[in-house]
């Protein structure tokens, strides 16, 4: 289907803070939808958190899901609308904390859909609390002395966990802190949507993403935090590519 008219991203001002990764990733997702000409058959599932308002930005059918339940809602949609393109979009609180069970079981069923996971190591909308992916030593409002593994556990590497399952076809971790990595992220997203179009199965893209506001950092410093601290704990790369 060739998109001759409207774009997947609406021409509206986003509410995201400067340098926030959500704005970048959502733009990339929209570009991929346009490039693939699938806007009119795409159904998006919105999370709870800063990205809940993506239904204001995307120019396609969208459902806003209860916190953590994106993979379940997306499963319900895709199973009864198998010819539609269904994407999930959620943060670390959504997909890795309250919705960890849904994330793992959706992946394990090998649902033919595209799951986009924004890892910014903190809870954004609620004010900067510890996330399951908060780094050891990282200060948040609920780890004022820095995250200590002894009492709060260690940051969860979801790509590595999902790679223990046999059913996902594509698992990749990317980042959006500089232009080359943004371009790589777009390629990963394109692959994750193409897999679904071709009926190959479950694709998962984790995006290391900036939250300068709750990291209490400037924009440049936040990008460096992704490139240095986050990438050293969360190595980039493909953890599964059974789609080739």
Partner 1 sequence: MKTKTSVEKEKVLMMGNVAMAEAVVRAGCRFYAGYPITPQNEVSEYLAKRLPEAGGVFVQAESELAAINMIFGAAATGVRAMTSSSSPGISLMQEAISYIAAAQIPCLIANVMRGGPGLGNIQGSQSDYFQATRGGGHGDYRLIVLAPWSVQEMYDLTCLAFELGDRYRNPVMLLADGILGQMAESIELKEPVKSKAMPKEWALTGCAGRKPNVIRTLYLQQKDALEEKNLELTAKYEKITAESQLSETRFGEDAEIAVIAYGTSARIAHWAVKRAREAGVKVGLFRPITLWPFPAVELRKITAHCRKLLVVEMSQGQMIEDVRLARIPATSVDPKIEFMGRGGGWYPKPAELLARIKEIASC
Interacting residues toward partner 1 by CB under 8 A: 39-43, 45-46, 52, 55, 58-66, 68-69, 71-81, 84, 101-102, 105
For the bound state, the minimum distance from the C-beta of residue 112 to partner 1, rounded and expressed in Å, comes to 13
Cα–Cα distance for residue pair 87/26, rounded to 1 Å: 12
Q: How would DSSP label each residue in 134-188?
A: PPBT--BTTBTT-B-HHHH-----HHHHHTTSSS-SEEEEEE-SSHHHHHHHHHH
Cα–Cα distance for residue pair 187/199, rounded to 1 Å: 18
Q: 31: part of which helix (H) or strand (E)?
A: helix 21-36
Q: Is the Cβ of residue 60 or residue 175 nearer to partner 1 in the bound state?
A: 60
For the bound state, the minimum distance from the C-beta of residue 94 to partner 1, rounded and expressed in Å, comes to 12
For the bound state, the minimum distance from the C-beta of residue 32 to partner 1, rounded and expressed in Å, comes to 16
Report yes or no: 239 and 202 within 8 Å, Cβ to Cβ: no
Q: Is the Cβ of residue 38 or residue 121 nearer to partner 1 in the bound state?
A: 38
Cα–Cα distance for residue pair 189/85, rounded to 1 Å: 13
Q: Is the Cβ of residue 68 or residue 132 nearer to partner 1 in the bound state?
A: 68
User: Residue 203 forms beta bridges with which residues?
Assistant: 114, 170
Report yes or no: 209 and 223 within 8 Å, Cβ to Cβ: no
For the bound state, the minimum distance from the C-beta of residue 57 to partner 1, rounded and expressed in Å, comes to 11
For the bound state, the minimum distance from the C-beta of residue 130 to partner 1, rounded and expressed in Å, comes to 23
For the bound state, the minimum distance from the C-beta of residue 110 to partner 1, rounded and expressed in Å, comes to 13
Q: Is the Cβ of residue 56 or residue 228 nearer to partner 1 in the bound state?
A: 56
Q: Is the Cβ of residue 40 or residue 241 nearer to partner 1 in the bound state?
A: 40
Q: Is the Cβ of residue 72 or residue 135 nearer to partner 1 in the bound state?
A: 72
The DSSP code for 95 is: I
Cα dist. 10→27, 29, 35, 184 in Å?
10, 13, 15, 24
């Amino acid at each position: 289907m060739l998109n001759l008219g409207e774009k997947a991203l609406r021409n509206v001002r986003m509410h995201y803070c400067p340098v926030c990764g959500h704005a970048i990733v959502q733009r990339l997702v929209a570009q991929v939808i346009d490039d693939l000409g699938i806007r009119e058959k795409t159904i998006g599932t919105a999370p709870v958190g800063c990205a809940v308002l993506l239904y204001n930005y995307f120019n396609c059918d969208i459902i806003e899901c209860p916190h953590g339940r994106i993979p379940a809602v997306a499963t319900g949609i895709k199973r009864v609308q198998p010819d539609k393109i269904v994407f999930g979009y959620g943060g670390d609180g959504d997909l890795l904390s309250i919705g960890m069970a849904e994330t793992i079981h959706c992946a394990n069923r090998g649902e033919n859909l595209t799951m986009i996971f924004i890892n910014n190591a903190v809870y954004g909308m609620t004010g900067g609390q510890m996330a399951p992916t908060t780094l050891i030593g990282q200060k948040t409002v609920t780890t004022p002395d820095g995250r200590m593994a002894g009492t709060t556990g260690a940051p969860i590497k979801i790509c590595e966990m999902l790679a223990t399952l046999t059913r996902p076809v594509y698992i990749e971790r990317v980042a959006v802190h500089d232009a080359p990595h943004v371009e790589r992220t777009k390629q990963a997203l394109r692959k994750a949507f193409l897999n679904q179009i071709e009926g190959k199965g479950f694709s998962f893209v984790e995006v290391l993403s900036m939250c300068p506001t709750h990291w209490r950092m400037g924009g440049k410093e936040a990008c460096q935090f992704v490139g240095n601290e986050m990438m050293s704990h969360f190595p980039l790369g493909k953890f599964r590519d059974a789609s080739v």
